[in-house]
């Protein structure tokens, strides 16, 4: 059986015993049916996997002893920052999950003109907690030991004027340029709109801030499809999906 990976948001060290948090305990006991002496892999985002053995389990608590640690080196050489217009529930979750699997390093949720999701302060906090859980779950599944940075929700215009490191590329189906026709960026900021995409005004504003417009083929893609297609293409051209360079 595959050894489960569980995220823990606290320091981990070989030779110590740790009590798993509520989420990991519930998942391990109720879903995975783990028992004492079963092995688990813990990680906290510091770039290591910590091999551990469960030593005690009750209905609401689980304790594990960390026996070993290994460095995980599966981050892409291409630093990717996804700036994504907030989409509806499952579409947003799917986009985040696949973006993590495809190696993004940073995510900024954008409030754009065509966003149908409206978030007040309370709802925004709950959404960010949910998105953070999606990111952690995707890291557990994909074997990543470093969590992508999740920014606070920001208005589209504020994002454009904020200082960022990297080349902004905005998805624009009207553009005549593809990723393969762009110079390789050291850091890529990929901007993708919500349902309905970016408005003409938003695209023009991005160009005024030195963004490059790109298209992903001749068809109109859904938001979540565009995330997968765009990141896959970028990783194939410049990242760790470029097998010809290995």
Question: What digits encode the pLDDT tens for the residues 114-158?
Answer: 998 888 888 889 999 999 999 999 999 999 999 999 999 999 999
Tokens in use for 149? 């940075």
The structure's pTM equals 0.92
Q: Specify the DSSP class assigned to residue 29.
A: I
Residue 245 pLDDT > 60, yes or no?
A: no
Q: What is the pLDDT of residue 246?
A: 44
d(CA 245, CA 240): 9
C-alpha distance from residue 145 to each of 38, 75, 226, 232 (Å): 21, 9, 25, 20
Residue 214 pLDDT > 80, yes or no?
A: yes
d(CA 68, CA 70): 7
Please, are residues 235 and 76 in contact by the beta-carbon 8 Å criterion? yes
Q: Which domains does the chain have, with CATH numbers?
A: 5-71 (2.40.240.20), 79-245 (3.40.1280.10)
- pLDDT class for 27, splitting at 50, 70, 90? confident
Please, are residues 52 and 40 in contact by the beta-carbon 8 Å criterion? yes
Q: What is the pLDDT of residue 26?
A: 85
- pLDDT class for 1, splitting at 50, 70, 90? low
d(CA 108, CA 126): 16
- pLDDT class for 244, splitting at 50, 70, 90? low
């Amino acid at each position: 059986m595959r050894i489960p990976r569980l995220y823990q948001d606290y320091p981990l060290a070989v030779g110590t015993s740790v009590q798993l948090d509520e989420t990991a305990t519930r998942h391990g006991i109720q879903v995975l049916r783990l028992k004492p002496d079963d092995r688990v892999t813990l990680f906290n985002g510091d770039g290591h996997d910590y091999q551990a053995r469960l030593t005690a389990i009750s209905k609401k608590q689980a304790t594990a002893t960390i026996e070993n640690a290994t460095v995980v080196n599966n981050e892409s050489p291409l630093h990717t920052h996804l700036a994504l217009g907030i989409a509806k529930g499952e579409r947003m979750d799917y986009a985040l999950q696949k973006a993590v699997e495809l190696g993004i390093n940073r995510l900024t949720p954008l409030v754009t003109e065509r966003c149908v999701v409206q978030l007040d302060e309370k709802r925004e906090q709950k959404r960010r907690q949910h998105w953070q859980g999606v990111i952690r779950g995707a890291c557990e599944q994909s074997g990543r030991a470093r969590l992508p940075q999740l920014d606070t929700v920001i208005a589209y215009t504020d994002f454009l004027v904020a200082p960022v490191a990297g080349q902004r590329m905005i998805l624009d189906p009207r553009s005549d340029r593809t990723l393969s026709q762009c110079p390789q960026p050291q850091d890529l900021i990929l901007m993708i709109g919500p349902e309905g995409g970016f408005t003409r005004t938003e695209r023009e504003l991005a160009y005024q801030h030195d963004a490059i417009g790109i298209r992903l083929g001749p068809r109109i893609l859904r938001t979540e499809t565009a995330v997968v297609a765009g990141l896959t293409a970028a990783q194939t051209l410049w990242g760790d999906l470029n097998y010809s360079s290995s």
